[in-house]
Amino acid sequence: MTTPLPNHNTPTPPPPLTAEQLEEIREQERKQKQIMAGIIAVIVLLVALLGVAIYFLLQPATPTDKIRDVFIIVVALETLVIGVALIVLVVQLASLINLLQNEVRPILHAASETVNTLRGTAEFLGENVIEPVIKLNGYLAGLKRMLELLGIKPK
């Protein structure tokens, strides 16, 4: 029986994570869940306050200046939410830039080195393997033609 050759196209699995790395990942996930829970709680609270404000504003005895004041407060809260969203956007952009500088650039550098190595290998094979084979084929074709012309080898 022959053993099958390993398939070099399949990537090797990453090394197992250490206990510290697993704990760090769990801690990050826990922090993300806490942040999301806080954001959801704030949104629910704002919606509830808006609902209560609308209920009281729809009462027939509500004067127009109170409606205006509540509307100004709602617009101020929207501005606050937009400001927080912009801050989150800037932080995410900073993390993206950090990722590009510290992760993608070394990968591109390694890929460039690999391409240069492959280019050198292809040149080496071309000079030391392919060119001699082509020359040998040319000499053999010439020898065959010469033998045919001399009548030693039939066509």
Using one digit for the tens of pLDDT, what is the confidence trace for 53-93? 888 777 777 677 877 888 898 899 899 989 999 999 999 99
Using one digit for the tens of pLDDT, what is the confidence trace for 7-63? 555 666 677 778 888 888 899 899 999 999 999 999 899 889 888 888 877 777 767
pLDDT at 15: 74
Spatial distance between the Cα atoms of 120 and 131, rounded to a whole number of angstroms? 15
pLDDT at 86: 95
| Dihedral (Cα; 119, 124, 129, 133), 10-degree rounding | 80
Q: Which of 70, 84, 90, 75 is nearest to 38 (CA)?
A: 84
Across the range 117-139, mean pLDDT stands at: 89
Spatial distance between the Cα atoms of 76 and 50, rounded to a whole number of angstroms? 13
